[in-house]
Structure 1
Amino acid sequence: EILLKDSAHLQEEGAEHAKRKKYNRQEEAQALYTPEDVDPVLKLLKTMPRSSGFDISPEFHVESFDAGHILGSSSLELTIREGGKKIVVVFSGDIGRYSQAILKDPTTPPSNADVLICESTYGDREHQAGDPEEQLAQIVNRVVKRGGSIVIPAFAIGRTQTFMYYLRRLEDQQRIPRIPVYVDSPMALSATDLYIKHKEDHDLEFVREEGSDGKGDPLNVHEFHLTRTAEESKAINNVKIPCIIISASGMVSGGRVLHHLVQRLPDAKNAVILAGFQAEGTRGRALQEGAKTLNLFGQAVPVCAEIVEMGQFSAHAGKSELLRWLSGFPAPPKQSYLTHGEPAAAQALQAAIQQKAGWKSAVARYLDTVALGA
């Protein structure tokens, strides 16, 4: 619900902005869908238990396992019984990191899977080494020292909460000054409420920091400013003292962060932290690869701010973590297909699986058809 409604709202905002500025090549920019379109869809959805089985029909049974990627993320085991045969299909979903803040580690389904469909986002590389908390402290201190501000394009679910957690810890340890932190994403605010509510996904360290009464709030930085309305968001432009702005979207493909980058990118005192996967063709990837200008709202904005990549904050398992997750199966699946990765990443993971585990796997191709259990 949160994702669909926020996506619809952003599309409406983007279409309206394109109409006003007249930079869209189409005759009239339109949202793909609106918030009014979402409610009928939600009525068709049915929730399933977080950690137990669910019968879709007499032939289809689903089991859910914690994927450790974001709150509520799951790997699914689908058991199909048809014509006297039983086939078990496992969908990895997005697999998370091990020993990361807030959430529990990923759980590999203990399945004798006939078919595995596995993501391969980071199948060809590991994440940056180093202590993310220490690196974040260094960035905050040097930017504040030169009088700048930090913009963090962050996925509303997952990365925003991780940054809030580390900033609170660093403040409490007096390793960074207490400066204003603006969370400028209505969806992130709603998601943060859910992170606090759903304690069943929390790891032991986070539970300890919440306290025995469960009333502690490890995500609440000391100078925390919530901005829900467009007017509150625009008011951040008037903040001239050092501050931190956390705003969606994480790949700089849309959302309010675009307005903040228009304001902050041209100033060398400022910094932008890229904290997650940046897909090919996105503005985030352009910044990652050293772009000197960024096209925002039909204008070329100079990139003078410091661009810092912090791969440690990615919510996707790195190559060795993917292999660790795969090693949890009691036996190799009869068929394995790799998805959700750029070609080089999927092919590298395919080779690693063959080398490390001795499994045969295939890189899934668009519109391919395969027989399950063949």
Structure 2
Amino acid sequence: MKISFLGAAGEVTGSQHLIETDSRRILLDCGLFQGHREESYLKNSQFAYPPESLDAVFLSHGHMDHCGNIPQLYNKGFRGPVFCTSSTADIAEIMLKDSARIQEEDARYLARKLTEKHPPIEPLYSEDDVNEVAKLFERLDYHEWHELGDDLKVRFLDAGHILGSAIIEMKIKDQREWRHIVFTGDLGRRDLPLLRDPEPIEGCEVLISESTYGNRVHEKASDMKEELFQILDEAYRVEGRVIIPAFSLGRTQQIIYYLNDLYNEKRLPYIPIFVDSPLSTRLVSVFRHHIHDMDDEVKNVIESDKDPFGFSLLNYVSSREESIALNKRKGAFVVIAGSGMCENGRVRHHLKNGIEQLETTIVLMGYQAAYTLGRRLINRDPKVKIFDRYYEVKAKVVQLSGLSGHADVEDFMWWYEESAKQGNIGQVFLVHGEPESSKALSALIRDQCDLEPVIPHYQQSFEI
């Protein structure tokens, strides 16, 4: 058996791992590489194997760095099944259609900017490609072993990262011998709102494990609700606006859930709350539909509150005109809009109109990458550029990081210890992490594994 690491090896983007046996060629994830434009286009437009030769893709979850290049795979000839959970299938279809739209808009914009001699920039795929890919999704339930042939069995366990995320456990026959492989996808944390905790495995021969925060301890998610209350209470008193740039998938729904909790507890100040993101609104519909995939706390809530993503002070903004009207609104209100690092989307318009007001509070959720507007705000730059002009930062800037969906040092240690109690863990490959994080996790888990963990390089292959 051969395993090739074709993305998210030594970095945290473009998840893609190829498993080859004497009778099967299987891909774990097919994510978009996200980085500098030219490098991204080169990596995303080429595959290290003929796509039509793949028997199947197994998709861990619906984030773009894990599912975002499946339509390009289809474009190049892949026609096999894409196995995933039902929630992931619905989320991925929405995310991929949004990605196709953004690529087409970017291509039109660049076509106006490039010289005549420059070759045209083409989108990696279209919405038509996404529609065809959606037909390939095959939905598998959690926990049940699914027989996918006389040489392949698969089971999904809960990864606890986002709605529908799965640990992929696979038993595959190679040279008449059964091999036991597990891929964590993105491993989540315990006690996150909405999500069930990640589930330990019962040992395995080969483990492909993410390592994003193998050297970090997160703040506790349980503190987030109280911090949101304090921010909204102050905004109510000073009649200021609260701007929350938030990722459309996962983070926005968790914030709404906490605000709904405060409303049910009769603690939420009387402040109108606007979700100004069409993508977030579409994804909320998926969360409502798959509420049975959420944790026991949510199931308890819906016994008395049928919709934990809706209450009288919450408004979902759909039209551009409604969004523009918010910028002229007076008094206290909250607007939640994409994107999480303030680089795109409607949130930039809200920041432009509120950043020079002392009464405004900007609430940044989680990690802000270098060179983004979010990072400049965290760094307390006195002036920041939004669109084509500079604005003085007079607003209060707050960073809340308790909702990170990735396992930290404590979660990894718990998960590996619990898994090792149930069975031996053989060879571990650490992916989806910067080198420092992967090395730190390797040292942390060494005693739980039979062999020294390996940190593969991009396009490196191993015979098992």
Please give the TM-score of this superposition, normalised by the length of structure 2: 0.71
Instruction: Describe the shift of the 1:50–1:191 C-alpha distance in structure 2 as closer, same or farther (beyond 3 A).
Output: farther
Q: What is the percent sequence identity of the aligned residues?
A: 34
CA shift for structure 1 position 3: 0.8
What residue in structure 1 maps to residue 174 of structure 2? 82
- What is the letter of the counterpart of residue 181 of structure 2? V
CA shift for structure 1 position 14: 5.1
Cα distance in 2 for partners of 1:295, 1:39 equals: 38
1:123 partnered with 2:205: no
Match of 2:440 among 337, 348, 355: 348
Cα distance in 2 for partners of 1:187, 1:102 equals: 19
What residue in structure 1 maps to residue 316 of structure 2? 226
Higher alpha-carbon deviation: 328-337 or 309-318: 328-337
CA shift for structure 1 position 68: 1.3
Match of 2:248 among 156, 178, 187: 156
Cα distance in 1 for partners of 2:321, 2:119 equals: 28
Cα distance in 2 for partners of 1:236, 1:337 equals: 48
Please give the TM-score of this superposition, normalised by the length of structure 1: 0.87
Cα distance in 1 for partners of 2:242, 2:452 equals: 45
- What is the letter of the counterpart of residue 241 of structure 2? S
Instruction: Describe the shift of the 1:107–1:356 C-alpha distance in structure 2 as closer, same or farther (beyond 3 A).
Output: closer
Cα distance in 1 for partners of 2:109, 2:243 equals: 22
1:242 partnered with 2:332: yes
1:107 partnered with 2:220: no
Unaligned runs of 5+ in 1: none
Cα distance in 2 for partners of 1:303, 1:59 equals: 60
Instruction: Describe the shift of the 1:39–1:351 C-alpha distance in structure 2 as closer, same or farther (beyond 3 A).
Output: same
Contact 2:275 2:335 in 1 (8 A): yes
Match of 1:331 among 418, 423, 427: 423
What residue in structure 2 maps to residue 258 of structure 1? 348
Unaligned runs of 5+ in 2: 1-92
Deviations 1:40-78 (A, max 9, x none): 222333333344233444433221011111111111012
Instruction: Describe the shift of the 1:336–1:292 C-alpha distance in structure 2 as closer, same or farther (beyond 3 A).
Output: farther
Contact 2:426 2:449 in 1 (8 A): no
Match of 1:139 among 221, 231, 237: 231
Instruction: Describe the shift of the 1:348–1:192 C-alpha distance in structure 2 as closer, same or farther (beyond 3 A).
Output: same
What residue in structure 1 maps to residue 146 of structure 2? 54
Contact 2:205 2:427 in 1 (8 A): yes
1:303 partnered with 2:432: no
CA shift for structure 1 position 203: 1.7
Contact 1:23 1:298 in 2 (8 A): no
Higher alpha-carbon deviation: 8-17 or 101-110: 8-17
Correspondence list, 1:188-199, <5 A: 188-199=280-291
Cα distance in 2 for partners of 1:148, 1:189 equals: 24
Cα distance in 1 for partners of 2:209, 2:198 equals: 14
Higher alpha-carbon deviation: 129-138 or 351-360: 351-360
Q: CA RMSD in A?
A: 2.8
Aligned length, in residue pairs = 367
Cα distance in 1 for partners of 2:241, 2:391 equals: 17
